[in-house]
């Protein structure tokens, strides 16, 4: 007897927690359902606008970082070019005096 009562309680518990039983109890007032739908749509619109704004902000930040990286690389390239020119100038100045008056067959 106890087992059958327990089985009946368990069956009612499963029925109450199932999605088909919960879905059958919808709002009886169509005006309230429409109002809830409108509220849901507005929340969805606000959330979509928030997501799009976040994406635009992230894209602007990415563009700013790329521009900063390009500027840094350009400054580095100019510095390396300047150093190469200075090194070439120094080598050219010192190349004339390296032989100390001796000709090793490189000059004609």
CA distance 98 to 56: 62
Binned at pLDDT 50, 70 and 90, residue 30 comes out as: confident
DSSP 63: H
**Which is more confidently placed, 26 or 62?**
62
pLDDT tens digits for 64-88? 999 999 999 999 999 999 999 999 9
According to the model, what pLDDT value does residue 66 have?
97
Domain segments of the chain as ranges: 29-94
Question: What is the C-alpha to C-alpha distance for residues 16 and 10, in angstroms, rounded to an integer?
Answer: 10
Percent with pLDDT over 70 in the chain: 74
């Amino acid at each position: 007897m106890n087992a059958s009562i327990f089985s009946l309680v368990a069956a009612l518990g499963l029925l109450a927690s199932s999605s088909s039983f919960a879905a059958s109890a919808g709002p009886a007032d169509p005006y309230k359902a429409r109002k809830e739908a409108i509220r849901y749509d507005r929340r969805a619109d606000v959330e979509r606008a928030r997501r799009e704004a976040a994406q635009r902000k992230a894209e602007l930040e990415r563009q700013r970082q790329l521009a900063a990286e390009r500027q840094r690389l350009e400054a580095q390239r100019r510095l390396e070019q300047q150093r190469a020119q200075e090194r070439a100038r120094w080598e050219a100045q010192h190349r004339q005096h390296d032989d100390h008056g001796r000709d090793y067959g490189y000059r004609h």
